[in-house]
Amino acid sequence: MEDTKPQLLTVTIDGIAVEVEPGTTILQAARKIGPDVAPPAMCYYQPLKGSGGKCRACLVRVAAGSTKDPRPMPKLVASCLTAVQDGMVVENTTNPQVVDARNGIVEFLLLNHPLDCPVCDQAGECDLQNFAFDHGKATTRYEEDRRTFEKKDIGPYIQLHMTRCILCYRCVYTADQITEKRVHGVLGRGDASEIGTYIEKAIDNDFSGNVIDVCPVGALTDKTYRFKNRVWFTKPVDAHRDCPTCSGKVTLWYRGDEVIRVTARKNEWNEVTEFICNTCRFETKKTSDWVIEGPTKVSRSSVISANKYRADLEKPSFGKRLAAAEYKPIHDERDTSQLSIQQLPPERFAKTLPSAVEPEP
């Protein structure tokens, strides 16, 4: 063991160099730089092992493989699965080929998507919606009938809309890795593959609710929140509680004074790092159950921040209080006798300024 510290690799993504450890994927390296450079991800989910490589949303072009072998990779590669090499040059949004490919990916993902966003509870926080908005076309060329499925009941908490599913397998990995026993999976092949429990069975594991947060589209939604309200009319608040089974750190979604939904906290990549249990998610929907930490930070461009005004910004007395707090008495010791206005006799002001004649008491 001569050197325990791993050598850092230098990768250039969209012209920005970043040093990462060996074994990092291109997507993680890009996320290290920032959200402007990071490729979109529909199926890759960092907390879930083995996720990624299914949706092709994160395709990037590798312009130079490494310092040793600087040939470009012949095809676009999925950045969530490709490990970086030293001296790799990656083109993400700077390459028109990548932008064009993403455009096609959006079209493929939306082929069988029902586009029922007005009805869907996920609208407003949907990864596919954001992805299509950023990278897709405004119209569809698809004219055939979209695939449909028989409605399946998978328990009292989770609503399954198979038509909206993009088969990212995130919920399968979640059930495998977070819960003790997985009862659902992807059944069938090709066009007929669908999420299901095979034999009609309710998903009732204690951590099963996390598949709702993990789902990038509205295929798995909260049945207790179904049609309660739109995401952008609710107010997200960070809160926590002493939970024996999970970390208890959640986001409460308020409508007025009423908690209408509880979700796990998502980071800037829309990923949950601390999964919460079903008791927190579905059964504790009272403000008194929670310790409120403060409003969740929502990005300015998100629709969730639309039409929200902080209560303290609306007070009409705010300006007055600010002026009172900022007020400083002026100690003006200058000699004012030479200022021209004072040299005029007070009678000159009598008409417009009577107080100039009368000496003040």
Contact footprint for another protein (CB under 8 A): 115-119, 123, 138-140, 143, 226-230, 232-233, 303, 306-307
Rank residues 16 and 115 by Cβ distance to another protein and give the closer one: 115
Rank residues 39 and 124 by Cβ distance to another protein and give the closer one: 124
CA distances from 319 to 137, 218, 309, 310, 315 (A): 46, 44, 17, 15, 9
**Min. distance of Cβ 156 from another protein in angstroms?**
15
Rounded CA separation 48/169 (Å): 10
Rounded CA separation 90/20 (Å): 14
Rank residues 139 and 340 by Cβ distance to another protein and give the closer one: 139
Rank residues 54 and 255 by Cβ distance to another protein and give the closer one: 255
The answer to whether the CB of 271 falls within 8 A of the CB of 45 is yes
**Min. distance of Cβ 143 from another protein in angstroms?**
8
CA distances from 246 to 164, 220, 242, 275 (A): 29, 21, 9, 7
Rank residues 258 and 268 by Cβ distance to another protein and give the closer one: 258
**Min. distance of Cβ 224 from another protein in angstroms?**
13
Q: At 46, list the tokens.
A: 């960092």
**Min. distance of Cβ 226 from another protein in angstroms?**
7
Rounded CA separation 166/217 (Å): 8
**Min. distance of Cβ 123 from another protein in angstroms?**
7
